[in-house]
Structure 1
Amino acid sequence: MRSVVYTKPGDSSVLELVERSTPEPGPGEVRVRIVVSGVNPTDWKARQGGTYGDDLPFPEVTPNQDGAGVVDAVGEGVDGLSVGDRVWLYMSAAGRPTGTAQEYTVVPASRAVPLPEGTSFDIGASLGVPAMTAHRALTTHEDGPSRLAPGALSGKTVLVAGGAGAVGHAAIQLARWAGATVVTTISSEAKAALATAAGAHHVVNYRDDDAAAQIRGVAPDGVDIVVEVSIPKNAELVAEVLANHGVVSIYANNGGDEATLPVRPNMSVNARYQFLLLYTIGDEALTAAAEDVSAALRDGVLAVGEDAGLPLLRFALDDTAAAHDAVQGDAVGKVLIDVAAG
């Protein structure tokens, strides 16, 4: 089979396309024929050394956590999945040497989730890291739900920072599905159009001098949940618009590893700052996210494509390096790698 691998950390030039034997699933595992592989910032950061440092945990690594395809073989003891099932994958390369940038991959059965009928492989490959991160970000409020469903966030106002990104896009869709009023901050008219297409009720350019006033105009009592991509850049704005007992769910370090928080405004509203990383949130939270994301899919939520607010940028498997570079270069949209025909 064709597989993209790297044997040392570095820029995208360390990626190479090779031929490898098709793997066999062990007990509790399934083999999936990958149709589409999804690329996220975590993939290039891990490849570059941000996850493992200078020493890789395996002699050879195949990148990409997310993907979608068809179950091709089932290991002993697997229930609920059969050969021929269409699935989406999450955390395929977490603690394992092989991700989805190859024609076949083996994963624990729990990381292969059935795709509802009518859901495309493109949508399936766009879930994983973005949708499950968004789910966690929306379920950390001290008075909010731990699960998402229609009505779960009724009466809540959610502010999504960076609504044109993949996590922001999923957060908008999931929050609206769950009944929240959704405000998003963006930096341009083009990104405002994407966030609106995703379902945001209100868009605000965070560069406007009156951005806080615009958000307060929508939510006079403040926003309950902030899905935050860059707290170093947005700390002042967030502190101005947070509701009493509001939570700021921080899922990325865009803008740097250090932030300065204004104490008095946060103290006065009993603010909670919740950091989150998908790989360490635990099996209970992962299972809840996978189940709720699947429910949203069955309801027709989480569409992708320009009309849905998330343009698709497509690459071939032998152009995986270019796909990684596109994500690292902050390409607007979801980067997908076409591995095989569906």
Structure 2
Amino acid sequence: MAPGMKSIVYSETGPAPTVLQLVDRDLPEPAAGEVRVRVVWSGVNPTDWKSRAGGGRGESLPFAEVTPNQDGSGVVDAVGEGVTGLAVGDRVWTYLSAHQRPTGTAQEFTVLPASRVVPLPEGVGLEVGASLGVPAMTAHRALTVWEDGPSRLEPGSLDGAVVLVAGGAGAVGHAAIQLARWAGATVITTISGDEKAGLATAAGAHHVVNYRTGDAAAEIREIAPDGVDVVVEVAISQNADLLSEVVAHRASVAIYADDGGDTTTIPIRANMITNTRFQFVLLYTVGEEALQAAVEDVTAALRDGVLPVGEAAGLPLHTFPLAETAAAHEAVEGGVVGKVLIEVSAG
């Protein structure tokens, strides 16, 4: 009998408890250019539950069966022909694991193109590894689309810049704060309450502004009289008016999500005067050059001790066993503060 593994699957879209199933599947073998990873942690992002939910119950899928979750970490278990730079036993993190593929990381083993598997620097925990893909790489892209800024991040690359991170207590916001501070920027973040303010400060934000109390635009302008150079934006439909009051000339607003809705109205004259650039960010279509740049810079940041996780680092962890993947998806869908990880196997 062929060796098997536990896997979470769904064959139609719908609510997590209804469509996600824990099943036994055959152990996959890596083809040329692929590696097999024994998954220790599977990271859950909003994109994962949105793909699973679809636009409505029962939508057809691109594959007969799908295993969810783009991000993960673990140990290389087998290597296909022609793979270099990765070996059995290497501790790794993965990204875009389920993009245009039927199987993501919510299973005990996953086979991926070697290009989607990245060695973890020594001393970096596997929990960190599973928290990197979508959040850290999205944050990297958001910080590198500024017209007058760097295309790569390293210490000093954002010296003198002011970065505003909307929603600094989220996973992308946490990564953006960490990477921007590592690169030398002054970091301001907007939050909705004291608990999230504490998390953003723990992540490294220099200034925290509560947008629900007082005059957020005036507070930001007081901190940055010449305006904000880069905005990492999670809710443009809510924040468009605020941003038009605080951006510097030739600022970049990187929009990676919209927690407030699907459409927005942007003030034209104010943004025309400042030559503001609005840049949408979606990891799936940024292209290989941007993905590779993010991988290399995130790895360098990890070597410098950047991007830790856990409440003390500003990103609380919420962990679930593989059998409770539906609950993990529901937690992210419900807006839990922090990072949701599924413990697939022992590290």
- What band does the TM-score fall into relative to the shorter chain? over 0.9
1:6 maps onto 2:10 in alignment:
yes
Deviations, residues 157-177 of structure 1 (Å, cap 9, x unaligned): 000000000000000000000
**Structure 1: which amino acid aligns with 2:256?**
Y
Find the aligned partners of 1:234 and 1:97 in 2 and give their Cα distance. 36
Task: Please name the residue that 2:213 is paired with.
Answer: 208
CA contact (8 A) 1:36 1:340 kept: yes
CA contact (8 A) 1:37 1:67 kept: yes
1:85 to 82, 90, 102: 90
1:35 maps onto 2:40 in alignment:
yes
**C-alpha spacing 1:263/1:46, structure 2 compared with 1 (3 Å):** same
- How far the C-alpha of 1:53 sits from its partner, in A, is 8.7
- How far the C-alpha of 1:50 sits from its partner, in A, is 4.8
Find the aligned partners of 2:274 and 2:294 in 1 and give their Cα distance. 28
Task: Please name the residue that 2:116 is paired with.
Answer: 111
Identity of aligned residues (%): 71
Task: Please name the residue that 2:189 is paired with.
Answer: 184
2:275 to 270, 275, 284: 270
Query: SS at 1:183's partner residue?
Result: strand
CA contact (8 A) 1:45 1:51 kept: no
CA contact (8 A) 2:12 2:57 kept: no
Deviations, residues 144-191 of structure 1 (Å, cap 9, x unaligned): 000000000000000000000000000000000000000000000000
1:325 maps onto 2:314 in alignment:
no
**C-alpha spacing 1:33/1:51, structure 2 compared with 1 (3 Å):** farther
Find the aligned partners of 2:201 and 2:255 in 1 and give their Cα distance. 22
CA contact (8 A) 1:198 1:310 kept: yes
Find the aligned partners of 2:92 and 2:138 in 1 and give their Cα distance. 19
Task: Please name the residue that 1:230 is paired with.
Answer: 235
- How far the C-alpha of 1:208 sits from its partner, in A, is 2.6
**Structure 2: which amino acid aligns with 1:240?**
E
CA contact (8 A) 2:231 2:252 kept: yes
The 5 Å alignment of 1:130-169 reads: 130-169=135-174
CA contact (8 A) 1:36 1:121 kept: yes
CA contact (8 A) 1:249 1:275 kept: yes
Superposed CA RMSD in Å reads: 1.1
CA contact (8 A) 1:29 1:107 kept: yes
**Structure 2: which amino acid aligns with 1:140?**
V
1:302 maps onto 2:274 in alignment:
no
Find the aligned partners of 1:326 and 1:261 in 2 and give their Cα distance. 32
Find the aligned partners of 2:138 and 2:333 in 1 and give their Cα distance. 19
Find the aligned partners of 1:51 and 1:306 in 2 and give their Cα distance. 35
Displaced runs of 4 or more, over 4 A: 50-53
Find the aligned partners of 1:190 and 1:340 in 2 and give their Cα distance. 32
CA contact (8 A) 2:14 2:58 kept: no
CA contact (8 A) 2:43 2:131 kept: yes
Task: Please name the residue that 2:60 is paired with.
Answer: 55
**C-alpha spacing 1:52/1:58, structure 2 compared with 1 (3 Å):** farther
